[in-house]
Every structure is written in structure tokens, then in C-alpha cells.
Structure 1
């Protein structure tokens, strides 16, 4: 077993221990939950209205899909709040930039696509182990039964749920505009609008690409308003589940209706929408019984 990605809080001891055991990680993900807690602690002295606005901006930055966009967002964010000429805000921005940009920048979603942005699940499991075993004087006899199953299911590939297939079928029925943009002989991007029934054209995409690729923005508000106008899909022609999309749903779940839909349009192998996903009218969701039936082992 040789992991290449380390996700943890900002502790140097964790990083050092990992490097002693496995060598230097290819990516060091900083747990987003720990970042947010630290930010909240350093914002307590700032008035609530300003505090909430700063935190809202940081949450927007966390959704950056690549390093260039993240760096541009940080720059615009700092410029915006330093113009307030508030010593408390200036002190926070100084701390934030040093700690969460210079020292530990790996907390945005695009830092390592396909990997979690927090280690909350692991810490929850660790706490359960401590509460049920480590901190107890006595253990249940069944814990010593070698036939007792105590393992957790582990998946190496994303699992597409019936709800995902249904969302894809409805998205395809809307027949939204899809614009293909060729980067080189090996890479083709597919663009769709971020709203249902939004129609786009090549000029719209070209203008978006100019601003997006050059990170050409003057103010943070412009960044917030411009960033989500289009979604970019990079399909994998061999394994459609390995494709990428810039929408928030994909960033959080590693799969989305846009990626599945484009894969279906391109007739990528194994991307077949089941019949059960096609019987829900556009705009409607599956009822609770359907979802419970799907989740049964």
C-alpha cells in the first residue's frame, strides 16, 4: 500500500510522519473543515456583517477548479478587503494570506480532483473507535469473535445512483446547447450553460474562455459573478466515469448529469441510461419509495 495523496489538518507532525512512512506526497490536501474553523476563530473580533461577508467570499474561493483561478481569486479577495482601511480586517487578511495561501494552499476543490476536501469521515470513524474501544475498560465479547464482520466497504470508483441517471435523462430532454471547443488534437472541451434551458453560442463561449483562461478580472465581485456562467466538461472516451466537469455537483461528488449526458451524446461505452431513469417527467424528482428501494442491498 503506497498512498500518494495526504489529506489532514495543518499539523506538521502529520506531514512529517507521512513522509517518513511513504515519502513526499504528490499532493497535500488541507482539510477544508479545519480551514473554516480557523477562519471563524480569527474573525470573531470583526463586526458580524463584515465577518459574514468575508466568510461568504472565502467559501466562493474554496470552489476554485484549478490553481490559476485559485491564485487569481485570492489576489482579488485580498485587494477587495484591504480597500476597507479597517485594521481588524487588515490583520485578518494578513493572517489568511500567510496561513492559507503561502503555507497551506491545498484547501480548494480543484487542488486534487477526485479526492475528498475534508477528512471529517475519517475523524468520525477514529472517534468511534476511541469511544467504543480505546477509552473503555471492558469490551463486548462479540468484539473477540473472528467471524464478526467489522470492515467498511471501500470503493475505488464513483457509483452512479439512480437519481444521477434520472437527472441526466431530464437534462438531455431539455436539449440545451452544447458547444465543442478544441484545445489540441487530444483535448476537446464541451461547454453547457449553468441554467436549465440556457442557450449559448460560440461567441459566448469565446468571450468566457478569454476571461477564464487569462484570469482577466479586475474585482472580486466580477470573479464571483462571472465564474459560474458556464460549465466545462472534459469527457473520457474510454471510461466515462473518469471524465471531469466544472460544476459544483461534480466537484463535490465526482459525477454529475453534465458529464454523464455528454458521455451519452458521444456514445462512450457503458454509458447507458437505464429505463427506470427515463420515466420521471422533467422537473419532478423520485419519490421516497424509489430511493429506499435503490439503497437496499
Structure 2
């Protein structure tokens, strides 16, 4: 790693940039019109961008943009979570630093078990290179769930899916194991180990009746 390179990583915090990418398109199509501007002019444009962005989320507007207070869960995610909950992967339960929460450590990849020693090494965070950082961060998943079963959707995880979607199969799978929630019956249609086909599920066909 270069000596002048600074890496920052806020663990267990969603780091999606979907909103920023969407705004990037608006900047080009409605503000700068894909033209280069002097810095002084761009400051004026940037102020207008922020002003419009803020007003569009004002609840007093006729048609405001509503913030989501909890993640949207698809049928595919329910299926993945159900398969994870029924898998043989073990999870070690350890008291969380956060009052009223519990941490659950589980192995990533094809591994089925995780040891307390591996968790200790993971917590030490003694990496000295980006490669070591990747090896540590993608070897163990840590799920933090509230002890209040009704708040399982506010759980945290350090896997890439959580960073992007604010929810993942690990959070949902542990919630299923702990009986904090139940997957919909349609999530159990796919045999364990298989993946759901893309697209809308097929409609049930009529049964062949023979008289």
C-alpha cells in the first residue's frame, strides 16, 4: 500500500451510493447539461441541486419523496434467507457491546464452522495490507440483532449485500432461526441448495382429472 493512501472503513454501516449515482444523472441532464463550468458557476449550480433535492423531500410538498424506514424484502431474498437458516452453518453467539443487542458470528464461503480463536483474530484487526484486510473481512460475517424480536429488520451485518441493500440473508436467516420472523410459504418452494429462477413465478396449472 502507498504511504500516502488513506483507507477508511465504517464497519457494519450501509455504504451504498445508489442515491449519489442517481443524482449524477440529474446533474448532467438538468443542471450542467454535460458542459464544463468554471468553479464559481458550478457553486451556483450545486446550490440549486441541493435546494431542489431538499425541497423534493419536504413532507409539506404536494408529492414529496418518502424516505424508507425499513428495507424492502423480495421473494428471492426470503428464499435465500430460508435456505441459509436451514443450512448446517453454525453461528457463535457473543454478547454485543451495544446494550440490548447480541452478536452472531458465522463463517463465510463454504466453511461450516467458526471458532472463538478465529473470532478473536477477526476482532483484533491487525491487517497491514489491503489483501489481508479483504481476507479478514470476507472470512467471517457478524450479524448484530436486537434482543427485541420485533426489531429484527434493524439488524446489522458486515457482508457486501447488507452494504448495498440494508438487509441480507444472514440477518433474515438468523431471525428465522431465532423465530423472530417467518418466511412466506412461497419462499419454501425451491429445494434447499437450488436457486429460484428469475422473473415472475409461474401460475399453477390445472390438475389433470381422469374420470
Q: TM-score band (shorter)?
A: 0.5 to 0.7
Q: Determine the structure 1 residue equivalent to 2:70.
A: 157
SS at match of 1:160: coil
Work out the CA distance in 2 between the residues paired with 1:121 and 1:190.
34
> Displacement of 1:249 after TM fit?
1.0
**What TM-score comes out, normalization by structure 1 length?**
0.49
1:240 corresponds to 2:152: yes
Give the 4+ runs in structure 1 shifted more than 4 A. 149-154
Change (3 A) 1:219 1:171: same
Which of 84, 109, 121 aligns to 2:22? It is 121
Work out the CA distance in 1 between the residues paired with 2:86 and 2:165.
23
SS at match of 2:16: coil
Change (3 A) 1:113 1:226: closer
Change (3 A) 1:192 1:209: closer
Work out the CA distance in 1 between the residues paired with 2:12 and 2:190.
35
Work out the CA distance in 2 between the residues paired with 1:125 and 1:229.
38
SS at match of 1:280: coil
Deviations 1:95-118 (A, max 9, x none): x44xxx5xxx5xx4x378245336
Q: Determine the structure 1 residue equivalent to 2:82.
A: 169
Work out the CA distance in 2 between the residues paired with 1:230 and 1:112.
13
Q: Determine the structure 2 residue equivalent to 1:60.
A: none
1:1-297 correspondence to structure 2 within 5 Å: 77-78=1-2, 93-94=3-4, 96-97=5-6, 105=8, 108=9, 110=10, 113-114=13-14, 116-117=16-17, 119-130=20-31, 154-183=67-96, 186-196=100-110, 198-201=111-114, 204=115, 206-236=116-146, 237=148, 238-268=150-180, 271-290=181-200
2:15/2:163 contact within 8 Å kept: no
Change (3 A) 1:258 1:266: same
Structure 1: 5+ residue stretches without partners: 1-76, 79-92, 132-148
Higher relative contact order (CA 8 A, sep 6+): 2
More helix by share: 1
Change (3 A) 1:234 1:292: farther
Change (3 A) 1:186 1:157: closer
